[in-house]
Each structure stands twice: as structure tokens, then as C-alpha cells.
Structure 1
């Protein structure tokens, strides 16, 4: 395999012109229009043939640039000059985006990086960037290099959607890669530090920041080493959490910088969680993705709960997916560009299964980890470990912020204070009733959340009645008293059922403080 091309660098005099060229002709909508719905859908499945056909027939800037910088196919110099009128082929060469065979209009130009539009809409607002990374297997036709800099993948999008977006003075993007989390953070932070063990990744992050018209405090080093002794108001991290056994590397599988942390088992995530507590300012939050092993005779909550205890902070862990050992190994072997049946794929898969079997690993979980250092000292840290497997497509940052605020309020208010509070049902909550035709009373009643994690909650009669009355007019205590009188039940008994449920519903976002 040939060496990786040099990472791109954006000269200051080219930045504004390149940004304007891309904004004029290389947006997400423009690419979808140039490709058409069939090719767009196929490309999302990593099937490039329809997109190759569509871009071969079009001279539109979006088609030319997608062909060159996504599909990795050559274009004529004249076509690129037309697609980037302010930058031209010469400017693209100077930025390290392409290499040109000559100066003639029909000479061939080839892309050196993957560059594609990225648009976002979340609690920090709407924006559009162009993000550069290394060309992937789809464009190169071979497995990824060890120093591959990954673009915006599913994990990156997951973390970006989950991160809180309120103002945070100092933010750390740990393991920044191409810099996508730092780009998100710079919109609501005063200062962004971005670290990575890969110098190549930091160069890509610097290019992407310059193209977006900003800059980060970039530091090279492993995990928390570059920020020793510093504290932050928000830490985000998509760390190299993949559990790869040393025997797989011994069989010939390269150590991939973007995903392999070179620590045994899931200890990288465990050590990171434990160490992050010392880097959070009062009120600071850390949000990261991770894998954790499911061992025979040990529940995953017990294992990950030990990491939270070591951090000494509040902690919220959501397990989103569980894979068996063979499925997990297959996922990451394909991620690196290997295909089933090849000698290296089979040898590495054997090594993975041997390692998991020897260590009693029955499955591997994937999900979100959130840590928070409370603004005020707390004697009992808040810990929540749960499984939520419903698909989430909307940004979760606002929901996460609301949960943290609700938890802080609940931790400092007893049941008497809760009873004196006015509550309202959240705008995204609907009530569903299931009954047989002809019946007047529902057999099943449930509340469904439209935002957040899309939770459902099945209240009993008393709780359903209380929730239905939460319109902000009466206090919860007055609602409890009214239900007791209406149903001829002791008020204490009604309160004993309604108040704990109200706490749960506040924490999950079904109810809000009026």
C-alpha cells in the first residue's frame, strides 16, 4: 500500500475564496440534485456505481466536486477550474486537496482528500461547513491505512446530536480526529482545545477550522496528557474505544490510530471515565461514546458503575446497542476495509473470538457516558445506568440539558417542595389509549414522548389523572387533594403514588416546571 498523501493545509489567502466557491456550488442539496435520488440513496449504502454514472454525465460543480473529492475519480482541469472559479485548480493544488497531471485544460486532476458538505441544525443554531478527511475504501478500493483520518461517521453524528449546546467557556474535544466535535463546540464556547495522538488528524482539524473561518487550540498527545492539570466546562470525546486483541495485530491487522487505543479490553474507556472527573470545572459536563464488555457473572451496570464511582462525579450511562463477539469483530474488520473470506479477515476474526472466549466476554455494549461535576458539593452522586434502544434521529442536546436541570432541582427539593410546585406536561408528550371496539374504558393507557429518547410511560389511574391535570394552574399538592376527594381515597395514599411518579416524569422530560 502506498504512503498516505500529505494532509491538506489552507493558505490564508485562499480560505475566503474556497469557502465562497463551495457555498456557491457544493452544498448538500446541490450534490443530491446532481446525483439524483437513486444515486444518493446508493451512496449512503456505500455503493458508488450509480453516483459514478450520474457524475460522469454532469458538468455541474456539485457533480464535478463529488466525483473528485468523494468518489476519488479524476476530472479534467478545465472542469475543476469551472467548479472552483475563485480558487481554480492551482489553488486546490496549493491547499493539498488535489494533484494535477499538467497545466492543460484536458489534463487529469485527482483528489487527495475526501471533502464534503455538512449541515447541522441544533440548539446552537443552523450552520454549514465542509469537512475534509482521508479518502475511504469507497474511493480508494483498498483497506484503510493505519494513519487514516476518519470523516464524519455514524459515531461522530451520534455524539454531536447528544452534546449539550448551552454556553460553555472552555471546551475540550479529546481525540478530535478531523475536528467535527470542535467545530460544533466553537459555536457555543469561548475557547476550544482539541487534542489527538495523531499529528495527521490535527492537521486535518486545522484545515477544517480554517475553512470554517475559525481556529482551535490544537495539542498533540494521548488522551488527557496534553491537558494535565486543566479543567473544562465541557469535554466531548469519541475516543479510540474499539476492543482489538493484540493477537489480531500479530496476525497482520494494523493498529488504526482513529479507533485502536492499544489498551487491553475496554480499559481505555474505563480509565478515561475515571480520569475525567479531575478535569471538570464545577458544573462541568463530559460526554463521550464508548464500548464496554459484558462478562460472564457480571452485569454491565456493575462494571460501568465502577468506572463512575472512580470518577467521583454524577454519572448517566445509556447503553444503545449490544453485539455478540462475532458480530462485534465483523463490524470493525469491515470498518477497516477488510472483506470476509480474505486470509487477514479470517485470521483476525479467529484472534478476536479466542480473546473474548479466554476472558469470558459474552457481548459488547455501546452507548453514551455523561459525567457532571455539580456546581455545589453533593454528598450522594447521582448515578443512572439504563438501556434505551429506540432509534433517535433528532438532536438530544436540549433534552440532556433539561434532564440535568431537572435532576439538580429534584436533588435539592423534598416532596413537600414538589407538592407546592406548579407542573405542566411537556409539549412533545401525547397520550395513547388502547381499547377494544365498543369498550368505553381503555385497557392500556400510555404517555409517549416525541422528543428526547422517545420514551413511553404507562401510568396507573391516579398518576394518569394527576398528569392530565398538570396545566400549570394548580400545584401538584392541590391536584393530589382533588384526586383524593374525587376518588374518596386518603390524600396520603394518593401522594405516595403520585409524587414518586412525578419525580420520574420530571427527570425523563414528560413533565416540566411551570
Structure 2
């Protein structure tokens, strides 16, 4: 009876949010792009001013209550939630009385939209109130809403179907929503009971059933709730933030996994192999330490974890921070203001911990890991630093990286003769730029740009640009090299030795595709 009653309340809330058009686009139209941008900087002033002159409406009331975390007139909130009612809002725990005639939000309830290869989605996400609403440091058990890491991870999820998916450390449930679009069944775990409660509310609010027919929520640390089980796909934004194990340093459940340094990332990387079906993949965020004498390069350390676990991997480092930058980022993330005595005390502890352990920097990025279907097949363990190319998280990078694995599988066993026999096509998102000095006979710079994936950009010489431009599936690579050798008056064998390794790289990174 209690579950049925709660389902009725959630259904009433869903109906009210839909009737109010409580969506990302509608809210943006309500107060304008400038207010939307200001809120990303934790500035509510522009949005508040816009709402002063906006007509009273359910949308305006919901935005004021749940996005700005301001008290609202109780009658206005009742009008905005006619099916749920104030009593239902209190019973669900989303809002409660604040002062005479006023109510305020008890949870963060916001619209969310995204686009992937299968189309656009519009959902509502429930999480704990952030520091903008609380006005101070977060509680240790805080359940985080959607942020930059969430959107990055969601872009890593491929759109190919998955039979069983594991959402490891689900938090508010955002990744389960994304994964459910392409999965038959999902198991979502978290060490936080409160996180599972809010994830359940998020999922129900968006019409996703709980249990075996939808998302099976389980309590426990990392892989403990799924001991002995295997999945086609694992998705995780583990609590990887490196936190000093020192007195007075707060430990937040949503970001701290209870291990020293980057130990939790290593544990997840080494652990996924036991929970993946052959050919299954894991899509993860994480960070890794750079160490002075003992550990060396951060990406090399991750590579060692992967190779010792027997996995294929594609690992991207998109950012690197100094110890001071890293400490500031995460102290501020907890709601402590830069320059305050509390901030300075925490920064001292953070930097002392890094110094004691020889940490000189921290890399952040993402990885796709694969359990090989054939242990005897050639392995792919690739690490890349794409610090400059990525101004923001690209969309569809999960599908892009899976295409890279498929390309590797297709050509890894081919020697140069077999590779030269392939008929390749230039990918449709590739463009070419040419720059030359006025009066020069030819270009001084030829640049090939990728429109999708990681938007890579490579400099090419005339031979490589000619081969890519002529790759239309009609002639083999060997035939193209022969024609280019004659055109450029270059020894054909020497040109093949130069171009074939670069052709392998272009196939792997999606510039050239196999003609199938």
C-alpha cells in the first residue's frame, strides 16, 4: 500500500511538471540566456530580476522554488502542483513550510535535456540542494545532481544495445536514465542509501520501473552488490576525488571512495574484468596521480593497471592540474569559499598530503575498457592527451571510441601488404584546410580536421592529403600510393613505408573508414 501510494504521488508530480512545461527550453525562455549563463556561475541575481516582471505562472513558481531555491507563496506552489498538492509535496520530501504563507524546496528538482545519436531526451533530476541553496559547505552525505562529469560520462555511453548494464555508483540516477535507452536491464549500485532513495525518485518520476523490469537498485561498495555477476556494459563515475586522510578534512560520499590517492580508480580498473562478459566494455571517468620519483607518468600508471588486468583500453587525458589547482577545485566544490580561514586550513592539508606522497600533478579524463573476446587477439591499449583539442565534452564519443575498437579489430592482424590492399573511404566529417604564403607555389600548411569524435586536427604533407582526398573506395591504398609516387616523383617503396603507418592511425581514429 505504501509503495502504491508513493507511486500515485510521483505520478501526480510528473503530471504537474509536464503541465507546467517545466523543461530546460521553457525555463530558458522564461528568464533568458543571460540568466541561464549567470546561474552556471552560481549567480541568481539576473534570474531573480527577470522573474520580478514575469507573469505569475506554474513554470515561474517551480523555477523560483527548485532552481533558485527561494521561498515561494504557498498558494502559488499549490497552483503549480495541483495534482500533487502541498501535502503530497511534503510527503515526497520535495518541499515544506518555510514561514507564514511560504514554502521552500527541500530537494533540487530540475529539468534536464540531452541529445545523443538516437535523438533528444527531456527528463527531471532529483538531488540534494547545492551550496547555492544552502549558503554553506555541503553535508558529508550530499547527493550530487547533474554536473560536467555527469554529461561527460553520458557521452561515453555507446548507443548500441546492451543486454545487461551496471551503473556503478549511480548517485542521483542520471546514468541509469541514459543507459536505459539502450539496455535490456540495469543494475545500479551505490554505497549511499540516500543516493539510492533519490535515484529511485528520479527514475520513477521519468517513468522508469524499478526492479528486474527496469533498474535494480542495490546498496553496497563498488562491486560487492554484484559479486559473481557479469554485464555487457559497465558505466561509472566512481568517487575518485583524491582526499587527504587527515583530521578536519571532510569526506563527501559522492566524491570520496575511502581509498588513498587514486587507489579507487585502480581498484575499479582492475575489478571490471571480473564483471564483464567477453567483449563487454566499461565506460569510466577518473583521475590519476603524477609522482616524482616512484610512480612517474600518470597515464603510464593507468596503462600498467590495464595491461596487468588483461584489458583492451582507450584512455583520454583531457586535463591536468597542479596540486594547488586540484586542491582549490575540490575544496570549492565542497562549498568552502576561497580566501576564508576554512579554505586556507584545508588547502594546507591537501598540499601537505600531496608533498608527503610525492604527487606533482593530477590528470583527469575518461576511459573505455574492454574484456577481449579472444585472449589471443592483438591487444589495443592506447593512451592520448587531448588537452587543447577539447574545449568542452564532445557528444557521441562513446560511439566514436567503439568505432575505434572495431577498426583496430579489423586491421590489427593485417601486415602492410594486406593493409595496402584495402579500399578505404574518407569519413564524411573530415575537412581540409590549406594555408600558403602569397605568391608561393604550394601550401605551407595542410590540416585535416575531424568534425565528430574528438575533433582531432592533424597536419599533413601533400602525399598524405592526396591519399586521404582520393580515398573514395574505388582504388586500393597500394594503387593510390603508386599514383601519388608518380605524381610527386617519389620512390614508391619509400612512400609506402612513410604512409602505411599513418594510414593505420587514420583508420584507428576515424579519418578513414573500411569500405564494407
Distance 1:304 1:483 in 2: 41
> What displacement does 1:37 show?
2.6
**Superimposed CA distance per residue, residues 403-440 of structure 1 (whole angstroms, 9 cap, x where no aligned partner):** 12111112233333322222111111111111112223
Instruction: Work out whether 1:26 is the aligned partner of 2:22.
Output: yes
Distance 2:5 2:445 in 1: 60
Q: Is the 8 A contact 1:10 1:211 kept in 2?
A: no
Gap change, CA 1:413 and 1:62, over 3 Å in 2: farther
After the TM superposition, which residues 94-133 of structure 1 pair with which residues of structure 2 at under 5 Å, given as runs? 94-100=91-97, 107-133=101-127
Q: Is the 8 A contact 2:188 2:218 kept in 1?
A: yes
After the TM superposition, which residues 61-460 of structure 1 pair with which residues of structure 2 at under 5 Å, given as runs? 61-100=58-97, 107-214=101-208, 215=210, 216-247=215-246, 250=247, 252-297=248-293, 298-389=296-387, 390=389, 391-395=391-395, 396-460=397-461
Q: Is the 8 A contact 2:71 2:98 kept in 1?
A: no
Distance 1:116 1:173 in 2: 21
**Superimposed CA distance per residue, residues 77-114 of structure 1 (whole angstroms, 9 cap, x where no aligned partner):** 22112222332323322322111369xxx821111100
> What displacement does 1:10 show?
8.2
Q: SS of the residue aligned with 1:284? A: strand
Q: SS of the residue aligned with 2:198? A: helix
Distance 1:267 1:177 in 2: 20
**Superimposed CA distance per residue, residues 362-399 of structure 1 (whole angstroms, 9 cap, x where no aligned partner):** 11110112211122233542111110012244312221
Gap change, CA 1:359 and 1:317, over 3 Å in 2: same
Gap change, CA 1:276 and 1:393, over 3 Å in 2: closer
Q: SS of the residue aligned with 2:446? A: strand
> What displacement does 1:253 show?
2.7
Q: Is the 8 A contact 2:158 2:398 kept in 1?
A: yes
Q: Is the 8 A contact 2:166 2:234 kept in 1?
A: yes
Segments ≥4 residues shifted beyond 6 Å: none
Gap change, CA 1:9 and 1:112, over 3 Å in 2: farther
What's the TM-score once normalised by structure 1's chain length? 0.94
Q: Is the 8 A contact 1:9 1:96 kept in 2?
A: no
Q: Is the 8 A contact 1:10 1:207 kept in 2?
A: no
What's the TM-score once normalised by structure 2's chain length? 0.93
Q: Is the 8 A contact 1:462 1:497 kept in 2?
A: no
Could you say what the CA RMSD is over the residues aligned between the two structures, in angstroms? 1.9
After the TM superposition, which residues 442-481 of structure 1 pair with which residues of structure 2 at under 5 Å, given as runs? 442-481=443-482
Distance 2:189 2:364 in 1: 23
Gap change, CA 1:260 and 1:210, over 3 Å in 2: same
Q: Is the 8 A contact 1:10 1:210 kept in 2?
A: no
Q: SS of the residue aligned with 1:246? A: coil
Matched residue, 1:55: 51
5+ residue gaps, structure 1: 1-7
**Superimposed CA distance per residue, residues 283-340 of structure 1 (whole angstroms, 9 cap, x where no aligned partner):** 1111111111111141223211111122211011111111111110011000000012
Aligned length: 501
